[in-house]
Amino acid sequence: MRPRDERDRTRGMGRRVWVVLATVAFVGLLFTTVFPTRTFLAQRASLDASIEQLAVLDEQNRLLEERVRLLNDDAEIERLAREEYHLVRPGEKAFAVLPAPGPPEAPPQVGMPVEPDDANMAERAWEWLTERF
């Protein structure tokens, strides 16, 4: 009976070894495929965001270059000086159009000034009672 027990024990050990080896291989497969894939996907998302930001910055640079080109023109500088800084050429007169006057102020009331009633209900009831009696 001993040889058979020993044979069963070695078979059980062999199965355990295969299970442990399969588990180690599976974990190794995870480390070599899944985790680098997640890193790759995160890097790709970061790259996409950087490409989008680069496109926005390129557009802003294009607009700023156009603005620089315009500001090198004397006519554009004169237009800005007149519109934004209200400057005039020598010999010209500057005029300012004032806004229309607002409605006239109401005349002051003659008599006692009316104060706002900030009293709560209990104070008003007490006041009513003391006025009556």
| pLDDT tens digits, one per residue of 39-96 | 888 999 999 999 999 999 999 999 999 999 999 999 999 999 999 998 999 999 988 8
Q: What is the mean pLDDT of residues 18-29?
A: 89
Residue 5: which of 19, 17, 13, 21 has the closest Cα?
13
Cα(14)–Cα(22) distance, rounded to whole angstroms?
12
Instruction: Decide if pLDDT at 131 tops 90.
Output: no
Q: Band of the pLDDT at 97, cuts 50, 70, 90?
A: confident
pLDDT at 11: 66
Q: What is the mean pLDDT of residues 97-111?
A: 84
pLDDT at 8: 61
Q: Band of the pLDDT at 114, cuts 50, 70, 90?
A: low
- The pTM of the full predicted model, rounded to 2 decimals, is 0.43
Give the torsion sign (CA, 57, 60, 65, 66).
positive
Do 81 and 87 contact (CB within 8 A), yes or no?
A: yes
Percent of the chain with pLDDT over 90: 41
